[in-house]
Amino acid sequence: MSIAEHELLRLYPGPQARVPLEGLYLGEALQEIGTPSAPFVYGNYITTLDGRIALTSPETGHREVPPPVVNRHDRWLYHELVAHADVLITSGSYLRELTLIRGRDLPSLGVNHHELKDWRRRRGLPQEPAIAVVSASLDLPPLVYDLAAARDLCVVTGRDAPREQRQALEANGLTVLSAGTGSHVEGRELMQVLAARGHTTIYHATGPQGLHEVLAAGVVSRLYVTIAHRLVAGRAFDTLLYGSPFRLAPKLRMTSLYYDPDEPAGAGQWLARFDCERS
């Protein structure tokens, strides 16, 4: 069956009803929510029932989404969410890992479907969102220059980041911005820097430490979480968050929940949306 033929069961809010998978997240007017003073910041994750978002691959030694939960429905909805974005935040460490795995093949850091690119164009948006690469070390692979040639791209680092590295990146044509007093990027200032560049709908796509930073800063608006009905165990894994215990635990309110009975591989999954209380 094609994506267009699949249906989900809406569990919340009621009443229960069958709804199309295609367009589930595309129909949300995310571009209308954010403002320059309060950009709309959102992310999307897939997790197993035992809380794994990534396992260490025995072949590559790098973290990857657990293969038993990878599925085309979740991937399609990821692209629908990215289609709303002015900018997508990724990390230097992610680009380094991609380089080791894929060489200089451009990664899928965008909508990656012609119909979604057309959807963006009809709304006056570029075909692909801009990219912001967050990095403390500024040790970035050549892939970053390939991305910069194809997309609007900036690098964001702390004010105390290595000066020689910064100068080298700028000398090669990259825009390097500061957001934080130390070497690491601070979540609230990161969003202010991106909003100053005209980005008010911001897709956050970093890992557990990056998500911890922006949640601790109180700047996350919404999380979309796919909970695949699989158990994978493992001794080396990532969960949604990694970092010091929060001083004040973020409050999340579930605003929608759908059931997909078909993926991954017939196991089923929940598609949940949580609005975050911002500080």
pLDDT at 107: 53
Mean pLDDT of 188-203: 98
Buried b (16+ CB within 10 A) or exposed e, 7-27: bbebeeeeeeeeeebbebbbe
96 and 141 Cβ atoms separated by less than 8 Å: yes
β-strand partners of 203: 42, 88
In angstroms, the CA 249 to CA 232 distance is 27
Task: State residue 59's pLDDT score.
Answer: 84
Confidence of residue 268 (pLDDT cuts 50, 70, 90): very high
- Chain-centroid distance of CA 36 in Å reads 20
pLDDT at 58 over 90: no
Give the distance between the most distant pair of CA atoms in the chain: 59
Question: pLDDT per residue over 18-27, tens digit each?
Answer: 999 999 999 9
pLDDT value of position 104: 46
**pLDDT score at 23:** 97
The DSSP call for residue 1 is -
Kindly list the structural domains of the chain, giving each domain's residue range(s) and its CATH number in brackets, ordered by start.
Answer: 3-43+65-219 (3.40.430.10)
**CA nearest to 203, candidates 10, 37, 34:** 34
Higher pLDDT, 110 or 171: 171
Sign of the torsion angle spanned by Cα atoms 112, 170, 86, 48: positive
- On the question of pLDDT at 233 being above 70, the answer is yes
What confidence tens digit (pLDDT) does each residue in 115-166 have? 999 999 999 999 999 999 999 999 999 989 999 999 999 999 999 999 999 9
% of the chain exceeding 70 in pLDDT: 97
**Model confidence at 17: pLDDT above 70:** yes
Confidence of residue 1 (pLDDT cuts 50, 70, 90): confident
Segment 80-94 shows an average pLDDT of 96
The structure tokens listed for 116 are: 């979604």
Nearest to 184 by CA among 138, 232, 248, 135: 135
Strand order across the beta sheet in which 63-64 lies? 63-64, 54-56, 237-238
Average pLDDT value over all residues in the chain: 94
pTM: 0.95
pLDDT > 60? residue 106: no
pLDDT recorded at residue 169: 97
Instruction: Tell me the average pLDDT across 222-226.
Output: 99
Number of other residues whose CB lies within 10 A of the CB of residue 30? 20
- Give the pLDDT band (50/70/90) at residue 101: low
Residue 278: what pLDDT? 80
Q: Is the pLDDT of residue 237 over 80?
A: yes
Tokens of 46: 């897939």
